[in-house]
Amino acid sequence: MTYAESVEYLLSLIGSIERSNFGLHRMERLMEQLGRPDRSFRPIHIAGTNGKGSTAAMIAAALESAGRRTGLSSSPHLIRFNERVRLDGKEIEDADFATDVSEVRAAAEAVVASDGRSMRPTLFEMMTAAAFCGFRRATMEWGVVEVGLGGRLDATNVVSPELTVITPIGRDHERFLGVGERSIAREKAGILKAGCPVVVSEQSAEALEEIRARAAELEIQVIQIPSAWRADETAHTTGHYRFLAVRVDGAAGSRDGFPVTLGLAGRHQVGNALTAIAALDRLGVETRAIQEGLAGVNWPGRLERVAGPPEFLLDAAHNPAGARVLAQFLSEHCADRTIHLIYGSSSDKPVEEIAGILFPCVRRVTVTASRVTRSIGPEELLRRVGHLHPDVATASSTEAAMERVGREAKPRDLTPQDLPPQDLTVVAGSIFLVGEAKAVLSQLTAISVGQ
């Protein structure tokens, strides 16, 4: 199977997501058929609504800086499937990706042949299995595994982790996880395992109560932010933060600290970094590696700047909590810019709430849709959120939206120095939309370099 054939095969597995599809029975059977690749590495299992990808990337980067062979499994991808599997900090090679998908496909077909079509794996189950096979083939020591949806019934929950992490919980995917943070937290806490400590980011009272209740049932240690670690002397340069990470002893106060500079932009990354630091400290990773990992980490599509002109800022911001993070960043670090927003969303998101957070931060809005079938069409999106801003237009595609904004956004000449900053175009609302925009910008950069 070639790389192109493996991608075509995976895409053939796309179908509607239903609650009835959830469960670990298919994944457990597939793991058995494959010889339990999930047991070939030491897992760190990460769930949460926001920040789990950034936190996972930080943990993986620090482990790599410490010289530990580390795999990272994440989802979804922005442009190519390879992004979902990283081995020692690099996206998996096309040929290796095809090899792993071929192995999993053969195992899946054997399972279906013996157990029936109801055991046919989903796309996410296949990708998770392929990632685990990739970790085994490449002899990874550690595997940082990001949950796809929820936790309790997520395909990744077949692992037996050495550490679990739960990042901030908010309202998202309520159709599948239940309404309200308490219900969602209960599903996320489903990744907790007996004998395995959990690191918990700062949470709402409801979410924390559910996580602590599950931890008490399992009699496991809870390492909680900010009770375990806090950030002192916080400062930033153009939105990239630095601080003193201080370990806290509940009775005696601060015990020690070390300076941290973050490679990822945004104030919210301070909280994600503290969570990663707590996890890495629990795993015995040395301070130098933690500092290097957090400074050098890269996580595309999250407050990612693409130099212009015109300049772009790409950020998924696909739920209310993510929208608030983006709005805070624009207010704190881009208040002197004329901001154009390209916004699109999947149909299962609270678009009125998200638009109500983002639209007041920008001068102009263009609503559009990615090519993903569950995207809301531009005209429908305009009907639902057009009243939230005085200047809203539609575009038929991501490319058309970028072309439209490109005609309106004014680049800044290099001289004279007293001109206002150049316009900023923000692409947000859907990771699929961000991925399409990133692909367009990559092509433009390649053409520019080629010329």
- pTM for this model (two decimals): 0.92
Are 313 and 261 within one domain? no
pLDDT for 97-114, tens place per residue?
999 999 999 999 999 999
CATH number of the domain bearing residue 9: 3.40.1190.10
Mean per-residue pLDDT, 254-259: 75
Do residues 55 and 47 make contact, with C-beta atoms less than 8 angstroms apart? no
> Per mean pLDDT, which of 47-51, 131-135, 235-239 is the most reliable?
131-135
Q: Would you state the pLDDT for residue 309? A: 75
Final residue in a domain of this structure, among 276, 296, 316 = 296
- Local confidence band at 304 (pLDDT 50, 70, 90 cut-offs): very high
Q: When comparing pLDDT for 64 and 411, which is higher?
A: 64
Final residue in a domain of this structure, among 248, 278, 296 = 296
Length of the chain (residues):
451
**DSSP assigned state of 200:** E
Residue 447, pLDDT above cutoff 50: no
Q: Regarding beta strands 90-91 and 85-87, do their DSSP bridges make them parallel or antiparallel, or are they unpaired?
A: antiparallel
Structural domain boundaries enclosing 214: 3-296
Do residues 322 and 337 make contact, with C-beta atoms less than 8 angstroms apart? no
Mean per-residue pLDDT, 206-218: 97
Q: Is residue 214 part of a domain?
A: yes
Q: Would you state the pLDDT for residue 9? A: 95
pLDDT for 156-202, tens place per residue?
999 999 999 999 998 766 666 777 789 999 999 999 999 999 999 99
CA gap 339, 321 in Å, rounded: 20
Final residue in a domain of this structure, among 280, 296, 312 = 296
Give residue 15's identity as a one-letter amino acid code: G
CA gap 139, 69 in Å, rounded: 8
Total tally of structural domains belonging to the chain: 2
Burial class (CB in 10 A: 0-12, 13-18, 19+), 214: buried
Torsion sign, CA atoms 140, 142, 148, 153: positive
Q: Would you state the pLDDT for residue 448? A: 37
Q: Is residue 451 part of a domain?
A: no
CA gap 131, 101 in Å, rounded: 9
Are 84 and 175 within one domain? yes
- Local confidence band at 22 (pLDDT 50, 70, 90 cut-offs): confident
CA gap 383, 387 in Å, rounded: 8
Mean pLDDT, the chain, rounded, equals: 91
Q: Is residue 146 part of a domain?
A: yes
Are 149 and 283 within one domain? yes
Are 279 and 318 within one domain? no
